[in-house]
Chain A
Amino acid sequence: MVLAGVAALLLIRNIYVMMLVLPDEMQQGPVFRIIFFHVPAAWTAFLCWFASLAASVVYLVKKNLKYDAFAASVTEVGLAFGAANLISGMFWGRVIWGVWWTWDFRLTSMLVACLLYAGYVMLRRAIEDPTERARMSAVLSIFAFADVPIIWFSIRWWRTQHPQPVFGSSGSLDPAYWNMLFLNWAPILLVAVALLILRMAQEKQQRAIDAMRREAHVF
């Protein structure tokens, strides 16, 4: 709650600066401001998935379900931010490129990564036994994260071989914009942590419910 409150305050401050202090971007105009949510969302997603990989490895070593709950929660939070990144990117693309979707390597990589982790969530739903679920999803998390950089490079090579519309120069970003980008990452990260704490509390309750159910079965 405190985290969410701090995040809200920071966001209000950041949105004020974004909308009223920073000038419009030269070529793209006001819509460029979507970058302050779009890019940090992608960073947050990848950070979450990396945390999931780390927690999965620790789970396989220590066999403590706490780490599994963390890995599951952080993966789902990452998936939420990945989706936020994709959707905000689609709106941005609609305005600037005129299309909702293009098979640009960044879009495609993020989509494949989201599909991978959606598979993770589905796999968890499909396995009943908690320790087996933890083991299998830990293995999947390791496979998925090993794949993400390969997907990134492969799709980049694929796209650069084909002609594609020129998407605005990826020229240098003004330092004021860079600062804002990082400043806005802070509240987004705080939201991610708040969601993570919430999700882990749910996992804990779920374990308690499962334990009670097993007990009820015994009697």
Chain B
Amino acid sequence: MAVPAVRRSPVRTEPPRLSFVRQALIIAAKDLRSELRTKEALNASIAFALVILLLFSFAFEPTQEQTRRMSGGLLWLVFAFAGALILNRSFARELPNDCLDALVAAPVSGAALFTGKALASFVLLLAVELVSLPVFGVFYNAQWTGQIGPLLLVLAGGTWGLTVVGTMFSALTVNLRLRELMLPMLVYPIMVPGLLAAVQLTTPLVMGQPAAADLMIWVRLEIAFDVIFTALGVALADTVLVR
């Protein structure tokens, strides 16, 4: 007679359960710490941003009036290019020594891993932006401090959209040979609404003018974009990360 198999749950010591927020913060702190020790993405990204700012002024030689009209677009192109460098490193950093496998195997959810990585890239990209802004102000003679509060909010909103989409695609392309090329190819078209909103809002603010009331629609778009893609990213993080 067949002996019924005894189902026994494997004995294991459960690690202490951390809250989602704490897990994400630990991942973000780890990423920031390792980035601040090597500074490889940060240095490259800041240098790159400055070079593009310089090239733009050679390419267009804008007058004050032209700068006033294209400042938002110019800045966000710089941020999008510099962001691609940071986002590329976000997961690629984990490839040596199979750190990514260890991270996936660690008792943190994929969603927390994703959120943590997005947070770290967000902080790094925001740092690049805060370095670029004064340089922009000097090169292009812009009164960027005039509306500093709203400007920072817009920067934060736009940057969060860029990092949340970028982190997703950084995870998606991490194992590809052509990942440096594929990441911007995939991220920029998706980012069109987010960048559009950020550009529209940044243009008056960075020249020290208050945002007109009819720009509120872009604030709503930016928030909607951030919320939708954060939700999608968190929902699909496990699918992308866990192999």
Contact = CB atoms under 8 A, between A and B. Distances in A.
Interface string A136-149: 10111011101100
B213 interface: no
A127 B189 contact: no
Interface string B162-205: 00010010001101111000100110011011001100100000
Q: Is the interface of A mostly helix, strand, loop or mixed?
A: helix
B196 A158 contact: yes
A155 B186 contact: no
Contacts of A139: 168, 172, 236, 239-240
Interface stretch (B13-21, B43-51, B118-126, B221-229): B221-229
Contacts of A161: 214
A126 B183 CA distance: 12
Contacts of B214: 161
Which of A122, A144, A150 has the most chain B CB atoms inside 10 A of its CB? A150
B240 A135 contact: yes
A123 interface: yes
Given A123-B186, A126-B182, A143-B168, A112 B221 contact: no
Given A132-B175, A140-B172, A154 B186 contact: no
Contacts of A93: none
Contacts of A122: 182, 185
A151 B193 CA distance: 5
B239 A143 contact: no
A146 B161 CA distance: 14
B193 A147 contact: yes
Interface of A: 60, 112, 115-116, 119, 122-123, 126-127, 132, 135-136, 138-140, 142-144, 146-147, 150-151, 153-155, 157-158, 161
Interface of B: 165, 168, 172-173, 175-178, 182, 185-186, 189-190, 192-193, 196-197, 200, 214, 217-218, 221, 224-225, 228-229, 232, 236, 239-240, 243
